[in-house]
Amino acid sequence: MKVLILGAGAVGGYFGGRLAQAGSDVTFLVRPQRAERLERAGLVIKSPLGDAQIAVHTVLQESVRPEYDLVILSCKAYDLEAAIASIGGAMGPNTLVLPLLNGMAQLARLEQTFGSARVLGGTCYIASTLDADGAIRHLGKFQGITCGPRAGNHAHAVTLLEELAQAYARVSVECKLSADIEQDMWEKFVLLASLAAMTCLMRASVGEILAAADGEALMREMLSTCIAAASAAGHAPRAESLKRTEGMLFARGSAFTASMLRDLESGGPVEADHIVGDMLRHARAAGQDARLLAAAYCHLQAYEGRRLHHAAG
C-alpha cells in the first residue's frame, strides 16, 4: 500500500509519521521549505506516547504522480480547495482519498471532483500542534482515527482500510473501521458544532460558560438544535455518543474549548462556514428555531470580516 499524506503539519504529520514508523510506504506532499526541513532533520514527533525522529519521503506538487493507493487529507476546511488542487496529480483511477476533516461538507465537495467511488469517510481525534522548529508536539495521550467505506466506493475500499488499521496497530494508534462511518462523522459534527458555536460565541471554556447564570440552559439549547439537525438528516446521535457528548459539554469546571476558539484568539482564520455555518443550514432546512446557532455564526463571520479587513489594510 502506497500512501500520500497531504502536508506534514500537526495532524497529518503525526498520523503520517506514525504510519511511516510502522514501516508503511508513506510520502508527504509538502511545500519546498517544509521538504528541505524534513530532509535535514527528519519528521520529529514529541509525544507522551513516545518521541520519534523519522526519515521520510517527500514530494512537491509539481512532481506528484498517480501512483498511490490512498491519499490522506487532514487540512483545515478553509484550505480544502487548495488541497483538492494539490492532490489532483496523485489521483489514479483506483486511488482512494480519506478525508480527516471536521464536519460533513467536505464529502460532497470531494465527490464533485473525484467521484463517489474514491471518497471514503473518516474522522480523527488528537490534540497536537506544530512547534516553531517544525516538530509535531502531541498534547496528550488522546489519538485515533475512525474510518470506513461509503456507498458507491470501489470494491477494494474495505481491504485497503483493513491494511491501514493493521499498520497503525503496529505503533499502537487506534484505527477503528466503522460499519457506518457517516453516522460516526455526524456524531462528531454534533459535538464539534455545539462546542465551537458556544465557546466562540461566549469566548470562554465549557466550565466558564456553565458557571454563568444562563450558561447551562444556552448550552443545552445549542446541543438540542444540533441534535435536531442531525436527526432530520437521518443521523440522530446514538445513546452512547450522546452520553459522551453531554459529558464533555456539561462538565463543571472544565477548561475544554474548541480549537476554533484558539484559532480565533490567535487572530487566525477559522472553519466558521464549514462547521457552524453548515450546521445552521441543516438546522434551518429541518425547520428548527436556530437563533442561538445563527448568533454564533454571525459572530464568527463578523470576526472573519474584520480580520480580512485588517489584513488588507
Rg (CA), the chain: 19
State pTM to two decimals: 0.93
CATH homologous superfamily of domain 2-179?
A: NAD(P)-binding Rossmann-like Domain (3.40.50.720)
How does DSSP assign 1-70, residue by residue? -EEEEE--STTHHHHHHHHHHTT-EEEEE--HHHHHHHHHH-EEEE-TT--EEE--EEE-GGG--S--SE
Q: What is the average per-residue pLDDT within 208-219? A: 98
In this prediction, residue 109 has a pLDDT band, given cuts at 50, 70 and 90, of: very high
Instruction: Return the closest-CA partner of residue 25 out of 16, 33, 34.
Output: 16
Which strand (E) or helix (H) includes residue 13?
A: helix 12-21
Nearest 5°: phi and psi at 242?
-65, -40
pLDDT, one tens digit per residue, over 151-192 is 999 999 999 999 999 999 999 999 999 999 999 999 999 999
pLDDT at 311: 87
Supply angle C-alpha 51, 53, 59, rounded to 5.
Answer: 135
| Confidence at 313, pLDDT banded by 50, 70, 90 | confident
Count of CB atoms situated within 10 Å of the CB of 58: 20
Question: Do residues 193 and 226 touch, judged by C-beta distance below 8 A?
Answer: yes
The domain segmentation of the chain, as residue ranges, is 2-179, 183-312
Q: Alpha carbon of 197 to those of 23, 223, 261, 270, 284: distances in Å?
A: 40, 10, 9, 12, 16
Distance, CA of 88 to CA of 274 (rounded, Å): 22
Supply the pLDDT for residue 245: 97
Residues 6 or more apart whose CB falls under 8 angstroms from that of 9 comprise 74, 130, 136
Cell of 61: 506538487
Contact 69, 95 (CB under 8 A): yes
Place of cell 499502537: 172
243 residue type, one letter: K
The total of other beta-carbon atoms located within 10 Å of residue 146's CB is: 20
Contact 126, 156 (CB under 8 A): no
> CATH class for domain 183-312?
mainly alpha
> Per residue in 55-74, pLDDT tens?
999 999 999 999 999 999 99
Confidence grade of residue 105 (pLDDT, cut at 50, 70, 90): very high
Cell numbers of 148, please? 470506513
Residue 12 exposed, middle or buried by CB count within 10 Å (0-12, 13-18, 19+): buried
